[in-house]
Structure 1
Amino acid sequence: MILKKIKSTLALALTCLLFSSSCSSFFDGVNIIVTLKEEVQPIATLQIMDAVTGEVPNNLTLTLSGADKSSIVNFNGGKNFNVNEQGIITFAIQHSSENVERVDFDVTVNANGYVSSSLHISFYGEEINSYVLGLVHPDNTPEGVYATAPQIENSSDGITANTVISASPEQAPETTAYIQIAEGTQVFAQNGNQIEGDLEVKLVYFDPTSEEALRAFPGGLEVYANIDNNEPEAGVFTSAGLVNITMESGGKSVKTFSESILVDIEINSEIYNPEEGRTIREGDEIPYWSMSTSTNQWELEGTTVVELNSQSGKLYARMEVDHLSYWNLDWFSSANCTQNSRVIINLNNLPEGYYPCGLENTETGLIFRYAWKYLKDGDAITFYNTPQSMNVRLHVFENGVCNRNSMAISEEFAICGEVNKVLNLNATTSTPDVVNFDLKAECIDNPDISARPNTPIYFKSSDCRYWQYLGYMYNGKMTTSQLVIGKTYEFWTVYSDVFTYLVPSSNIEYVYQYAESPCNSN
């Protein structure tokens, strides 16, 4: 057995949290923490980072909305939704005697200097999932994201001159976006008051052919959309381009205009048009959408026609924009499947364990859904909330953030209507190491008192600057294939500070010990 003394601030609170039967009298709050721990069911973890550096932005604020927001609590059962030093938060619901079939809510994230973003989280009563949200800073954007922040003159009479702004004025990407504002256009705040004074404009363009840009796509490609002012409808976007536009003057944010501004988005000629079943052409129609700042749902604003710019030779589509938010060119595939596909996993030479996975739309070649799954030979996976007609492939990645190389890819299958189909995962790389964790916490003065925690675990290696989700440990046990035997990692759990550990073999028995423990039986 490998014993390790962890000298950190986890001692008192962690020990008493784990050993509730003997610690309840030692300091205020223990009973509450233990009670809440017993009453909550974790459903998701969220990691927030700078999309380029991986660092945690300062002054993060999280706002919850959506159908089940009132049911959501943090890991300790409270309503304070703050990330830790690693930028991680665990969402949970109160335990219930009834089986939870589904939970839906949205998270909006803001940070000083960053473009606001959001995420929809769904829980189907099975294993918890882990999400990563990369925030974009206009001064340092990821690959495929272009931004500019010019100032334009504005007075009580409106914009002082006809203005054209490019998202990439000093670069020449294959595609970009432009906004056109007519002279005399007046700008107004959310309350309807006119804003006078020069404007700082931020225009951010997301290239839908870039994987890095799509990772920063607000909410991802699985969306809830309001099409006819009815109930929001779940579905999947196929994007032809996305922009975020903000304007402010003296701390006052612009919301609307006296007349619409024009937004032109150039379109890569290789973009797939799912309605026509081919790549995009001049004359094709594309719906365009704006994101509601109050609901984080996409609202259909109209349809535009693809045109050809005779000077540049590039395809583009124009939107008439009367308010500021995210604006998006997208075809929408409704999640109207009535027979969820259920597949039986055949791992072949892939070992059992937690893996980051993704679903690839075979028509576009893009990953539209990411999830961490525990894969076991012969186990069944059910795909929920899917379009009626879409063929996909299941990818198993080496890890979730730093290296999304596929270590195994399934054959193509229909995401709707398949029942008990055997899905073969064909390895594309060498077989990874398998590491089995057996984690126990005990008091050094009374080793008979011990506990095996339930907790999400994150790790960081020397060759990756990001914290990455390793998996969820139940009763102190977990199997993973994301670690390399003989390599040193940093680990973090809900209960502990960061600790460094060398993975010595495929079977690890790891024991927390405390020389000065309050866990005395009495």
Structure 2
Amino acid sequence: MKSYIMFSFRPVIPVFIGLCLAFSCQKLNPLEGVQLTVNTDIYKSPMMIQFVDGSPQSTKIPEGLTVSISGPGKNLVVDDLGGKDFTVAGNILTLVLDRTAKPTEEKPIVFTISVSGPGYLSTSKTITVVDEERPINYVVPLVALSAPPAGVTAASGTVSLNGGTIEAPVGNGKNEGAELTIAPGTQVRDAAGNTINAANVSTRIVHFGTDQMTSLLSFPGGFTPQNVNRNGTVTEGAFVTAGFVAIDMQAGGKEVKSFSKPIEVKIGISDDFVNPDNNQKLQPGDEIPTWSYENSTGEWKEEGVAKVSKNADGKLIATFTATHLSYWNLDYFYNLGPVCNRYYTQIKVNSNVTSYQSGYQGFLYAGNQVLNGYNFDVTNGAVSYIFNPRRSNMRVKVMDMTKYPAKPVGETALFNPCAVTTVPINLSLPAPPPPITVDINFTAKCSGKDVNIKPSAWLLLYEPTGGWYGGYTYEYMQSGKATVTVKEGKEYFVYAYTAGQYYTGKVTFTKFSSTVQSAGGAGVKGLSGSTSFNAASNRVKLVATYVINDCK
């Protein structure tokens, strides 16, 4: 597998996911009765974004999601048909860059995807593109409010504007909570600054602790922000968080954005948290910078400081006031290390595995804090491109995510991403099952037209007995062709996605010929095709097609 993977938390692979096709029929004008076959390498930097439930035990697939694109590079971002219809199909969003885009390490293209959906906390992901050819897959975890991931708790209720408090409880893998208090006589305002006539506010507070990886990986935008506003100056760097909250309010049928009097917010601090400024545990009287987050733009803004004290139970809390609503974050921010204009560090693998195996994740750490997670290719000699925040003293730890709890299988030494380009890693892994290599040839047919399209697209195969962590294989096809390694004798579902439609089929890969069977429920369009085995090369060939009804 040669895909390059970024910011993935967990490979939850749904039944409604697959292949994003970067093509457009609009410019095709075949002669009557003449069949044309066209390649589709017209757009750049193909991206597939998977929105997943942030809890590792959940099999729930986020649906009904809506997205918007903002940021300096937004005008160069298009959907897989070259338009601006940014529609999430199931939990998959496919994007490319316009053919005029020229991203480089020195001049990256940066944009932000904001996402919201029923039952999930709104969040966003800032994406940096530095290569016009490299296909990249992003996995963005979402917090389900009814069943949040470990390290996260939520509370909802009605709070009086004559004075009231709401509290996010301890539990779910953390010993700290959070609360907000509204002072008597407070008035609330909408986004335009107009006062909302109300006596109460419907309020929700979500608290994220710092001791659970699932909580940290739900941090909006990640811990290497590139849109940080400090006293009016926009910069980039790295966060080390002591905890964060998301606060939402409704009053009189309108969304509350600000207050006539600041609200008071208290966030509990883990006993194990260490101040990165002095490598000491926090003490009463210490101060922590506070930051607010604008979800629609991905901007963090420094707002002031929170003061550390102890509550009645003797636990550390940080207290601050807020005049508006958003994510609020207790964070130490650093512009660490020289700006080396290198956004990636290569991790080169030494293992006993000779073919791609799914279900492994690489986690990037700065000190003891996980910054990001990545799908990781454990094949011997493989190189994974790790997006780094350009700060020193980092390491990558690889975990076997098919186990619960996840099992570590190896880690790098500490490295400075500005000082090295490639870092070795030795992995201790169980012997993989016998593989079989499959050469894939895909064709999309335009219904009613003598036109065949050879798509450049993401390809996904899912093997159900492999489980949510270990059952998927994916690759980016170039002009309809790709090579993947799968388990011999196992049945796989093959998925395709194009123009808001998805197509699916199932096939078993063996050393015999077989037929692709259509799969899926009512309204799901099928794939057709067959496999053949070449004994001389010991490889399987899969030839598959599907029909597009709306080519113009």
Q: Same-fold call, TM > 0.5?
A: yes
AA aligned to 1:68 is: G
Match of 1:502 in 2: 508
Determine the C-alpha separation between the residues in 2 that align with 1:282 and 1:264. Answer: 14
Question: 1:324-363 alignment to 2 at 5 Å?
Answer: 324-334=325-335, 336-339=337-340, 340=342, 343=346, 345-351=348-354, 353=356, 357-361=361-365, 363=367
TM-score normalised according to structure 2 size: 0.75
Determine the C-alpha separation between the residues in 1 that align with 2:31 and 2:278. Answer: 65
Q: 1:390 to 1:443 in 2, by over 3 A?
A: closer
AA aligned to 1:111 is: G
Match of 2:275 in 1: 273
Between stretches 387-396 and 109-118, larger displacement belongs to 387-396
Determine the C-alpha separation between the residues in 1 that align with 2:259 and 2:212. Answer: 32
Q: 1:430 to 1:242 in 2, by over 3 A?
A: farther
Match of 1:11 in 2: none
Determine the C-alpha separation between the residues in 1 that align with 2:346 and 2:59. Answer: 35
Match of 1:6 in 2: none
Contact 2:290–2:329 (CA under 8 A) maintained in structure 1: yes
Determine the C-alpha separation between the residues in 2 that align with 1:273 and 1:437. Answer: 51
Determine the C-alpha separation between the residues in 2 that align with 1:318 and 1:301. Answer: 13
Q: CA deviation at 1:377?
A: 5.8
Q: Deviations over 1:344-397 (max 9, x none)?
A: 724232335486653432521x43123446677667666565233222125365
Determine the C-alpha separation between the residues in 2 that align with 1:96 and 1:307. Answer: 54
Question: 1:180-195 alignment to 2 at 5 Å?
Answer: 180-195=181-196
Between stretches 188-197 and 280-289, larger displacement belongs to 280-289
Determine the C-alpha separation between the residues in 2 that align with 1:122 and 1:374. Answer: 21
Q: Secondary structure at the match of 1:417?
A: coil
Aligned partner (choices 302, 305, 321) of residue 303 of structure 1: 305
Q: 1:327 to 1:443 in 2, by over 3 A?
A: closer
Match of 2:65 in 1: 60
Contact 1:455–1:474 (CA under 8 A) maintained in structure 2: yes
Determine the C-alpha separation between the residues in 1 that align with 2:210 and 2:33. Answer: 56
Determine the C-alpha separation between the residues in 1 that align with 2:345 and 2:63. Answer: 42
AA aligned to 1:89 is: L
Aligned partner (choices 246, 249, 263) of residue 247 of structure 1: 249
Question: 1:400-439 alignment to 2 at 5 Å?
Answer: 405=406, 408-419=409-420, 423-431=424-432, 434-439=435-440
Q: CA deviation at 1:277?
A: 2.3
Q: Secondary structure at the match of 2:121?
A: coil
Aligned partner (choices 130, 135, 139) of residue 142 of structure 2: 135
Q: Secondary structure at the match of 1:493?
A: strand
Contact 1:205–1:244 (CA under 8 A) maintained in structure 2: yes
Determine the C-alpha separation between the residues in 2 that align with 1:237 and 1:380. Answer: 27
| Structure 2 residue runs without a partner (length 5+) | 1-20, 446-450, 512-537
TM-score normalised according to structure 1 size: 0.79
Q: Deviations over 1:79-137 (max 9, x none)?
A: 1010113x112110123495644221100012234321101111220622212223323
Q: Secondary structure at the match of 1:138?
A: coil
Determine the C-alpha separation between the residues in 2 that align with 1:72 and 1:276. Answer: 42
Determine the C-alpha separation between the residues in 1 that align with 2:410 and 2:171. Answer: 39
AA aligned to 1:205 is: H
Q: Which has the higher contact order (CA 8 A, sep 6+)?
A: 2
Say whether residues 1:511 and 2:543 are aligned partners: yes
Q: Deviations over 1:299-327 (max 9, x none)?
A: 11112232222x21211111211101110
Determine the C-alpha separation between the residues in 2 that align with 1:90 and 1:329. Answer: 33
Aligned partner (choices 206, 209, 217) of residue 208 of structure 2: 206
Q: CA deviation at 1:284?
A: 3.5
Q: 1:163 to 1:104 in 2, by over 3 A?
A: same
Q: Considering only aligned residues, what root-mean-square deviation do their CA atoms show, in Å?
A: 3.9
Determine the C-alpha separation between the residues in 2 that align with 1:234 and 1:435. Answer: 45
Q: Give % identity.
A: 25
Match of 1:79 in 2: 84
Aligned partner (choices 92, 111, 116) of residue 110 of structure 1: 116
Q: CA deviation at 1:145?
A: 1.6
Question: 1:436-451 alignment to 2 at 5 Å?
Answer: 436-441=437-442
Q: 1:300 to 1:508 in 2, by over 3 A?
A: farther
Q: Deviations over 1:197-251 (max 9, x none)?
A: 2321111111222222223222122223434244432222222111111110232
Determine the C-alpha separation between the residues in 2 that align with 1:425 and 1:38. Answer: 37
Q: Secondary structure at the match of 1:232?
A: strand
Determine the C-alpha separation between the residues in 1 that align with 2:122 and 2:101. Answer: 37
AA aligned to 1:175 is: E
Q: Secondary structure at the match of 2:427?
A: strand
Q: Secondary structure at the match of 2:75?
A: helix
| Structure 1 residue runs without a partner (length 5+) | 1-13, 154-158
Determine the C-alpha separation between the residues in 1 that align with 2:401 and 2:362. Answer: 11
Contact 2:41–2:478 (CA under 8 A) maintained in structure 1: no
